[in-house]
């Protein structure tokens, strides 16, 4: 890639970004769009424009985001989001410090050397001059680069350590907060052995009463809710349709346009079949379904009890201690873990047994490993195809179009990056599906697992795969002629790939974050839906409901950028400002979105962090090994000095794991020992775990041995 196409790419991206920011300022000030740009505030019952009045500048949102504190973020979007910002600001901090040290020191050292001229290369740009590729082999100038590698590593250790400490405290504070958290009073028990002549309910109650005679409150047996869920969904669907039909009828009467009661056909897709009065039809259906659902609820609670339960305790400390203890001598029976939040329980996974979970987990690991290995092939093909020269060579019929210089420049600038981004967009859903198939009981855990898979996928395939495949393809001929030249070829092409990644990073932050800020797609969808399909309030709300931040897929993307920037930080230090811009803009724009737009759908109190930290260290090790290889290729005598760095990184990772990990996995007793001031309503806590399809209003005392009923029949069902 030459300098002009690089600058074109950069320029275009920047222009697009500025336009998008201006569009945002304009659109977000329109009251009609408030539900798209301020849904989180609206849902929390706040005035969307509350800080708006103070200043009318179109960039007020920037000031707002900058001045928001961590407490604001936690209040508006939870600890997980706050942890995500700690991650962003940690990487940002690393890059800023490294930039301040490396740019003024390394760029002059590289620029004043003249290896590229010596080699007689004639197609190098000013960018190439500024890389380590321009430094002569064995030159003492390499000392500067070697020190830079150390500098980057130690800055990373230091900031990562601070972040770990900080997040550990965040987590503690969150656990100690006076707010009532139902999951702190419960544990999830799985692998309950089946006993003849005893219902699961009796079994669980007697077992836990025996072990915790004083602190056991009651239990809720997990049931097979397939049937009842189906009925519940059907009923909810009819209720919605009834509301909609009534709204249409009322609207027609109000505007006087039509007094006709709405009708529809009962057959396929509402096109075929008998024409019926919608309101009557749905009302009838609902009155048919309600008793059916109630009967099914009773059957489910009584007859469909599965080998898992949620057990409630009267105090947080009893639950925390129970979740950490081995209960049965057979380790594969009565396994306990802390209960997940009610809203994030994956009910269908709870019944999976110990060995089923093990088998599924390793099955999925093997599948993902195979996928990572064999996706290399399409990635390699993409990277080979998407250079214009190759495209012209392989598809000569495109030549006339591609010869036009405008199209050519734009295509050359964007084609490979777009191909890559589109390709990567397909993955996360598949990985989340696979992670759920492992039998993980909570959504946040499944997302963590998927996020990890996604990270290794992107780093291995995109970064390593792309660099190597691109390099190999370009130089396949040279290598065929002289197999020993491969080492030299690699050394000379690593700096060459820097420009590709520079454009990749720039595209991601300018266009990606621009689109994130303006929410063009949700905006358009919302307006279309509101205009043409939404009839009831609930439907309108559904149309603008923003969903959550999806940090599970953001983090691997960010980590990929961090990996790329780290790996090139010393080879081509000009990449550092791009990294700073990516994480800086990301921090700013997502802060805005977290405060105003996204609504967290669960809370795991930062359990993602240890995984992020491990992956940052993995990126660092990759960087250190790359540098070791690159210095070797530069024939620098003192390269062995670098061997110690990956070892330090691994020790650091081990140290962090030993010091912090258990406090993320288990709840420390000293934290939950202080009970909240107000006495918790245990019945309320229990009820919050009942899945909606079982939570009928009429659910009361008359169900004897069912899965919900109390251990002691003396207390009434609140």
- Binding stretches for a copy of itself (CB under 8 A): 168, 172, 207, 210-211, 317, 320-322, 324-332, 334, 358, 658-663, 666-671, 673
Cβ proximity to a copy of itself: between 562 and 608 the closer is 608
Return the number of the residue (77 or 175) whose C-beta is nearest a copy of itself: 175
Write down the residue that tokens 């030249």 correspond to. 485
627 CB neighbour count, 10 Å cutoff: 26
Based on CB atoms, which residue is closest to a copy of itself, 66 or 211? 211
Residue 444 CB, shortest distance to a copy of itself, in Å, is 20
Closest to a copy of itself by CB, 317 or 590: 317
Give least dist CB 615 to a copy of itself, A: 21
Minimum distance from residue 642 beta carbon to a copy of itself (Å): 21
Name which of 336 and 560 has its Cβ closer to a copy of itself. 336
Whole-Å CA distances, 376 to 381, 417, 461, 478, 504? 9, 16, 6, 22, 19
- Burial of 454: CB neighbours in 10 Å, binned 0-12, 13-18, 19+: buried
Query: Minimum Å distance from CB 608 to a copy of itself?
Result: 18
Q: How many CB atoms lie within 10 A of CB 205?
A: 21
How big is the chain, counted in residues? 718
* Alpha carbon distance 133, 570 (integer Å): 11
What is the distance between the alpha carbons of residues 514 and 506, in angstroms, rounded to a whole number?
11
H or E element that contains 311: strand 305-313
C-alpha dihedral sign at 685, 688, 689, 694: positive
Q: Which is nearer to a copy of itself, 381 or 669 (CB)?
A: 669
The nearest distance, CB 314 to a copy of itself, in angstroms, is 13
Q: SS3 sequence, 587-650?
A: HHHHHHHHHHCCCCCCCCCCCCHHHHHHHHHHHHHHHHHHHHHHHHHCCCCCHHHHHHHHHHHH
Within a 13 Å sphere around the CA of 65, how many CA atoms are in the beta-carbon half?
20
Residue 576: closest CA among 129, 9, 95: 95
| CB 651, min distance to a copy of itself, A | 9
Minimum distance from CB of 215 to a copy of itself (Å)?
Answer: 10
Q: Which is nearer to a copy of itself, 196 or 214 (CB)?
A: 214
Rg (CA), the chain: 30
Burial of 372 by CB count in 10 Å (0-12 exposed, 13-18 middle, 19+ buried)? middle
Q: What is the DSSP letter of 307?
A: E
With respect to a copy of itself, which residue has the nearer C-beta, 6 or 660? 660
Q: Greatest CA separation found in the chain? A: 92
Q: Which is nearer to a copy of itself, 422 or 665 (CB)?
A: 665
- Report the nearest approach of a copy of itself to the CB of residue 673 (Å): 5
Among the residues of 212-337, which ranges form H helices? 226-255, 278-303, 316-324
Least distance in angstroms from the C-beta of 330 to a copy of itself: 7
d(CA 85, CA 81): 6
Torsion of CA 612, 618, 622, 625, to 10 degrees: 150
State which residue, 406 or 679, has the beta carbon closest to a copy of itself: 679
Distance CA(154)–CA(648), nearest Å, equals 10
Min dist CB 208 to a copy of itself, Å, is 10
Give the nearer residue to a copy of itself in terms of CB position, either 336 or 534.
336
* Residues in contact with 495: Cβ distance below 8 Å, sequence separation at least 6, in sequence order: 128, 131, 132, 133, 571, 572
For the bound state, the minimum distance from the C-beta of residue 365 to a copy of itself, rounded and expressed in Å, comes to 13
Cα–Cα distance for residue pair 204/186, rounded to 1 Å: 14
Q: How far from 130 is each of 109, 125, 494, 514, 574, CA to CA, in Å? A: 9, 9, 13, 29, 8
Q: How far is the CB of 681 from a copy of itself (least distance, A)?
A: 23
DSSP string over 262-281: PEEESSGGGTSS-EEEHHHH
The dihedral through the CA atoms of 457, 463, 466, 468 has a sign that is negative
Cα 278 from chain centre: 42
Smallest separation, CB 243 to a copy of itself (Å) = 49
Instruction: Between 236 and 666, name the residue whose CB sits nearer to a copy of itself.
Output: 666
CB of 332 to a copy of itself, least distance (A): 6
CB of 663 to a copy of itself, least distance (A): 5
Pick between residue 53 and residue 658 the one whose CB is nearest to a copy of itself: 658
Indicate the residue among 207 and 312 with the shorter CB distance to a copy of itself: 207
Based on CB atoms, which residue is closest to a copy of itself, 15 or 331? Answer: 331
The DSSP 8-state label assigned to residue 472 in this structure reads: H
**668, 203 in Cβ contact below 8 A?**
no
- Distance between CA atoms of residues 34 and 46, nearest Å: 12
Please report how close the Cβ of residue 587 comes to a copy of itself at its closest, in angstroms. Answer: 27
Residue with token string 């849902």: 43
The smaller minimum CB distance to a copy of itself, of residues 323 and 571, is found at 323
Partnered with residue 310 across adjacent β-strands are 188, 220
In whole angstroms, the minimum distance from the beta carbon of 364 to a copy of itself comes to 16
Question: Is-contact 339 183, C-beta < 8 A?
Answer: yes
Q: Is the dihedral of CA 267, 273, 277, 281 positive or negative?
A: negative
Nearest to a copy of itself of 208, 501 (CB atom): 208
Minimum Å distance from CB 196 to a copy of itself? 19
**DSSP element (H, E) containing 105:** helix 70-111
Give the integer Cα–Cα distance in Å for 105 and 692: 62
Residue 422 vs 643, nearer CB to a copy of itself? 643
**Spatial separation of the C-alpha atoms in residues 161 and 166, rounded to whole Å:** 9
């Amino acid at each position: 890639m030459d300098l002009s196409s690089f600058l074109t790419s950069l320029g275009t991206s920047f222009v697009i970004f500025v336009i998008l920011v201006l569009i945002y300022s304009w659109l977000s000030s329109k009251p009609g769009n408030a539900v798209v740009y301020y849904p989180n505030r609206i849902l929390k019952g706040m005035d969307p424009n509350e800080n708006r009045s103070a200043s009318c500048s179109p960039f007020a949102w920037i000031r707002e985001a900058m001045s928001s504190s961590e407490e604001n973020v936690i209040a508006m979007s939870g600890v997980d989001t706050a942890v995500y910002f700690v991650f962003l600001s940690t990487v940002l901090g690393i890059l800023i410090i490294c930039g301040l040290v490396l740019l003024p020191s390394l760029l002059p050292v590289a620029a004043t050397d003249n290896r590229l001229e010596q080699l007689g290369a004639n197609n190098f740009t000013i960018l190439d001059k500024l890389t380590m590729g321009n430094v002569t082999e064995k030159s003492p100038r390499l000392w500067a680069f070697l020190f830079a590698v150390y500098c980057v590593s130690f800055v990373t250790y230091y900031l990562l350590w601070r972040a770990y400490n900080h997040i550990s405290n965040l987590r503690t504070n969150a656990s100690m907060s006076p707010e009532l958290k139902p999951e702190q009073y419960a544990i999830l028990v799985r692998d309950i052995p089946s006993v003849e002549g005893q219902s699961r309910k009796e079994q669980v109650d007697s077992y836990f009463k025996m072990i915790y005679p004083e602190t056991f409150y009651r239990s809720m047996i997990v049931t097979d809710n397939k049937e009842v869920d189906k009925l519940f969904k059907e009923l909810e669907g009819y209720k919605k349709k009834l509301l909609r039909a009534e709204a249409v009828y009322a609207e027609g009467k109000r505007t006087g346009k039509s007094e006709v009661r709405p009708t529809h056909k009962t057959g396929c897709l509402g096109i075929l079949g008998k024409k019926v009065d919608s309101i009557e039809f749905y009302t009838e259906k609902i009155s048919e379904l309600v008793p059916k659902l109630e009967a099914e609820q009773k059957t489910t609670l009584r007859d469909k009890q599965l080998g898992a339960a949620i057990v409630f305790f009267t105090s947080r400390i009893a639950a925390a201690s129970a979740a950490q203890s081995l209960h049965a001598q057979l380790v594969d029976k009565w396994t306990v873990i802390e209960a997940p939040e009610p809203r994030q329980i994956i009910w269908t996974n709870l019944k999976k047994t110990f060995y089923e979970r093990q088998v599924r987990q390793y099955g999925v690991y093997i599948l993902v490993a195979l996928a990572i290995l064999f996706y290399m092939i399409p990635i390699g093909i993409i990277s080979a195809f998407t250079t214009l020269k190759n495209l012209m060579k392989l598809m000569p019929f495109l030549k006339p179009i591609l010869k036009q210089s405008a199209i050519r420049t734009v295509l050359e600038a964007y084609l490979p990056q777009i191909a890559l981004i589109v390709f990567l967009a397909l993955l996360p859903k598949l990985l989340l599906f696979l992670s759920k198939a492992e039998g993980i009981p909570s959504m946040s855990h499944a997302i963590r697992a998927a996020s990890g898979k996604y990270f290794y996928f992107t780093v291995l395939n995109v970064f390593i795969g792309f660099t190597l495949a691109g390099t190999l393809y370009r130089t396949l001929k040279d290598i065929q002629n002289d197999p020993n030249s491969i080492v030299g070829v690699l050394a000379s092409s690593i700096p060459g790939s820097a420009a590709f990644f520079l454009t990749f990073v720039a595209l991601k932050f300018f266009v990606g974050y621009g689109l994130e800020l303006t929410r063009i797609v949700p905006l358009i969808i919302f307006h279309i839906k509101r205009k043409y399909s939404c009839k009831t309030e609930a439907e309108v709300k559904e149309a603008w409901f923003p969903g959550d931040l999806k940090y599970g897929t953001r983090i691997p993307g960010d980590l990929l950028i961090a990996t790329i920037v780290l790996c090139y930080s010393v080879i081509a230090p000009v990449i550092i400002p791009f990294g700073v811009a990516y994480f800086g803009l990301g921090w700013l724009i997502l802060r805005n979105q977290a405060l105003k737009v996204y609504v967290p759908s669960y809370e795991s109190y930062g359990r993602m962090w240890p995984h992020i930290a491990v992956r940052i260290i993995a990126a660092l090790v990759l960087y250190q090994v790359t540098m070791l290889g690159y210095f070797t290729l530069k024939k620098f005598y003192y390269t062995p000095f670098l061997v110690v760095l990956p070892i330090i990184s691994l020790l650091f990772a081990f140290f962090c794991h030993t010091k912090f990990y258990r406090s993320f996995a288990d709840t420390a007793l000293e934290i939950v020992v202080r009970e909240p001031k107000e006495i918790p309503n245990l019945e309320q806590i229990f009820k919050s775990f009942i899945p909606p399809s079982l939570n009928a209003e009429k659910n009361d005392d008359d169900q004897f041995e069912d899965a919900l009923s109390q251990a002691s029949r003396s207390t009434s069902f609140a």
